[in-house]
Amino acid sequence: MPLPKLPTKPAALLLAKDYPKAEPRKSAVRAAPAAAQVHPLDPVEDLISGKAVPALKAARSAKPKAATAAPPPAPVLVALPTHADAERPAARAKQSDNELDTPHPAKHKPVEAIIKSSTSRQADKSGTSKMFVLDTNVLMHDPSSLFRFEEHDVYLPMMTLEELDDHKKGMSEVARNARQVSRTLDALIANIDDHAIEAGIPLAKLGNKDAKGRLFFQTRLQNGPTLPEGLPVGKADNQILGVVRNLETELPGRAIVLVSKDINMRIKARALGLPAEDYFNDHVLEDTDLLYSGIVQLPDDFWNKNGKDMESWQENKNGSSSTFYRVTGPTIPTLLVNQFVFLEPKNGETPFYGQVKQLTGKTAVLRTLRDFSHSKNNVWGVTARNREQNFALNLLMDPECDFVTLLGQAGTGKTLLALAAGLAQVLETKLYNEIIVTRVTVPVGEDIGFLPGTEEEKMSPWMGAFDDNLEVLNKSDSDGGEWGRAATQDLIRSRIKIKSLNFMRGRTFVNKFLIIDEAQNLTPKQLKTLVTRAGPGTKILCLGNIAQIDTPYLTEGSSGLTYVVDRFKGWSHSGHVTLARGERSRLADHASEVL
């Protein structure tokens, strides 16, 4: 949000009862009730616009002369709005009944901003290379982080190597990353003379051409200014901060920046006057609002600009007839393969829903969609309730689409649509052998401990969402009565296998319908492990909501689900849809908006 424009005239001293109130989308300023207490930092519409209103003109009193003659009781000084005020949310505590007219503001997601230190910004302006001092948690978070700093140098304190050694034991993800970093460092220093290490090792030695900087180790105990007294000397974080302070003394004029995933470490560094930054090279997108949605609305004049030499024909595929259009025009290069397009005219004409099937320069082939909102095209008794669900079912029921990602908030129907499409293609069309369901076992609250039983029994508490949706799908079959429903449920259960992520390494799935639920809690490396399990005839679905990440070290920008959506867009055998409207209940929809 830009800063408000400063007024050109001095602020007026107003009475408490005459303080003007700003109303959204209205230019008229009404006086606040006399009993209302006015916050001194509230933004004033007339002051922000640069037009100071005199006190006599702003007051809407029946006796203006008496108001000027009386001494001002408890004057309130109108303060100019600051940057903090500009960032303050628009919804404030209710002060009077007159302020309840405006509707509840829409909830906007905070933008995940990447903030560089002032030292980094100055080095970027001057074009000089920087030296990044890496904390241990950066290497354990991303083992390839050594090669992610382009032309800049990387410095590893001895304490970082000590902490890597402490964390290398075990079978956890952190221990595996620590061992991988150690192997990478061993390969970098191989065949290097001892005095050449002090001069820096080229990071491009192992074939990483993007890494043009050098790797430096702390080769000697650095003597110089120490940190302020009171900080424990033996703590690893404080020793790394001391290394950064000494490097600034030894290399004057060089931009030295500490990179750490530890928030408290960065706060301590900034408090001591040392430049510190978060590691954000693992973020796929800086702002997740820019994430590919898989849907685009065509302009109203699309057919006039792109339909001059249009060709159309019909084809029968997978038991349904589709119409194809070949269009050429200036709008086409902005589209992607398998992206959904729609045009809903406001003059009452029939809307157009299509999918981009082929792109060649400024020419595209658009295919009309099957209408799954009609009961005759239901999928295991499920029909699409909105436009996005119809797009999703077209992807789920397309045998040419091997990889599907569905994003959406709670209640948009991701799991129900995936299960219905899986059951229809496993039990009715026999396209796949069975449904395999898996999800990461990250609890929302405290863990309940170890669970007894087999792998499937241990996973059953995590699969409550699928049990709920199966119950809904089974209720639609009322012809066979209770016995028929029980038999159907047993048949369905025999075709659904619940697997744990821990045992996926080395497996190959042939002709399976694989559903990965809660994929936002997976890292890009874990999702790569799962997607590469696909054998011939297997379809993989990734479902999730990036606003509900339970893994402590993942963000919306670095989630594995964000990663695969961005990497797979435009591939002819994959598709993505962001489901927009919740269909669970009016209570769930309202809660997702206001809470």
Q: What is the pLDDT of residue 34?
A: 40
Residues 395 and 401: beta-carbon distance below 8 Å: yes
Q: What is the pLDDT of residue 193?
A: 80
Q: What is the pLDDT of residue 347?
A: 81
Convert the pLDDT of each residue in 217-240 to its tens digit. 988 776 655 676 777 777 888 889
Q: What is the pLDDT of residue 78?
A: 39
Convert the pLDDT of each residue in 183-220 to its tens digit. 999 999 888 887 778 888 888 888 888 888 999 998 87
Q: What is the pLDDT along the chain (595 residues), one digit of tens a residue?
A: 444 444 444 444 555 555 455 444 443 334 433 444 444 444 444 434 444 444 434 434 333 333 334 444 444 443 434 333 433 344 433 343 443 333 333 344 444 445 678 888 888 888 888 999 999 989 988 888 888 888 899 999 999 999 999 888 887 778 888 898 999 999 998 888 877 788 888 888 888 888 889 999 988 776 655 676 777 777 888 889 989 988 988 888 889 999 998 889 999 999 988 999 988 776 666 556 678 999 999 998 888 888 888 999 999 877 778 899 999 998 899 999 999 999 988 887 889 999 999 999 899 999 999 999 998 989 988 999 999 999 999 999 999 999 999 999 888 889 899 999 999 999 999 999 999 988 776 554 555 556 666 656 666 665 666 667 777 777 655 566 666 667 667 777 778 887 777 777 778 899 999 999 889 988 888 888 889 989 999 999 999 998 888 877 788 888 899 999 999 999 999 999 999 887 778 887 788 778 7
C-alpha distances in angstroms, 556 versus 65, 277, 545, 567? 60, 18, 9, 15
Fold of the domain built from segment(s) 118-278 = Rossmann fold (3.40.50)
Does the predicted model carry a pTM greater than 0.85?
Answer: no
Q: What is the pLDDT of residue 79?
A: 40
Who's near 397: CB < 8 A, 6+ residues apart? 318, 370, 372, 379, 421, 424, 425
Amino acid at 259: V
Q: What is the 3-state secondary structure (H, E, C) of 422-459?
A: HHHHHHHCCCCCEEEEEECCCCCCCCCCCCCCCHHHHH
Q: What is the pLDDT of residue 550?
A: 80
Q: What is the pLDDT of residue 475?
A: 66
Helices (H), 60-172: 64-69, 83-87, 118-126, 136-141, 158-166
Domain locations in the chain? 118-278, 295-368, 386-442+453-594
Token pair 């003059």: residue: 347
Question: Which tokens belong to 538?
Answer: 């297997």
Do 295-368 and 386-442+453-594 come out as alike in CATH topology?
A: no
Q: How many CB atoms are located within 10 Å of the residue 99 CB? A: 15
Q: What is the pLDDT of residue 581?
A: 80
Question: Which tokens belong to 229?
Answer: 């007294």
Rounded to whole angstroms, the Cα distance separating 105 from 90 reads 8
Fold of the domain built from segment(s) 295-368 = Elongation Factor Tu (Ef-tu); domain 3 (2.40.30)
DSSP string, 504-543: -TT--BSSEEEEEESGGGS-HHHHHHHHTTB-TT-EEEEE
Residue 306 parent element (H or E): helix 302-306
Q: What is the pLDDT of residue 458?
A: 64
- CATH superfamily, region 386-442+453-594: P-loop containing nucleotide triphosphate hydrolases (3.40.50.300)
CA-closest candidate to residue 435, choices 482, 366, 493: 493
